[in-house]
Amino acid sequence: MTMSCANVIFLATLVALATSISATEYTVGDASGWTLDFDYQTWTQGKQFFVGDKLVFNYSPGKHNVLKVNGTSFQQCIMPSSNEALTSGNDVVTLLTPGRKWYVCGIGKHCELRNMKLVINVESMSPAPSPSTTSGSSTLVIPKTYGFAAAFIGSLLMFLI
């Protein structure tokens, strides 16, 4: 069975829309960003992180950085010996696997004395969408169900026209 060009375009569009709609982008610290003396533990409360979601770390380049560490390094603010720091000031980290994830600032004593450390738990699958989202917690402003419905209706219209 051969697929027409329209079917291939339809399937590619549907997959692209479904992927982009289901992921949530979180700006770490919201408007405060990745900064000194911020309570990131409180910031994570009420948020659920899933594989495919993205963390955006906003900060002034040169003043901070972002290092992914393990649980022991997180607790003791031990920086890895290799140069794995993200330093752009607008670092986007895609959550690729489930489990606990730890991030710290490796500049000076920012982790140890100034609370620049974030721990999250990433879940493997997104739950059924809720009827609304919490304002200010992410860039997703409508429930995911509406995005899927719009993609489905749009694809049906494409075949009817």
**Residues 68-92: b if buried by 16+ CB within 10 A, e if exposed:** ebeeebbeebebeeeeebbeebebe
The DSSP 8-state label assigned to residue 129 in this structure reads: P
Q: What is the pTM of this model?
A: 0.68
Q: Give me the tens of pLDDT residue by residue for the chain, a chain 161 residues long.
A: 455 666 555 555 544 444 445 799 999 999 999 999 999 999 999 999 999 999 999 999 999 999 999 999 999 999 987 678 999 999 999 999 999 999 999 999 999 999 999 999 999 975 555 555 444 444 444 444 445 555 655 555 555 55
Burial of 105 (0-12, 13-18, 19+ CB in 10 A): buried
Number of Cβ within 10 Å of residue 37's Cβ equals: 10
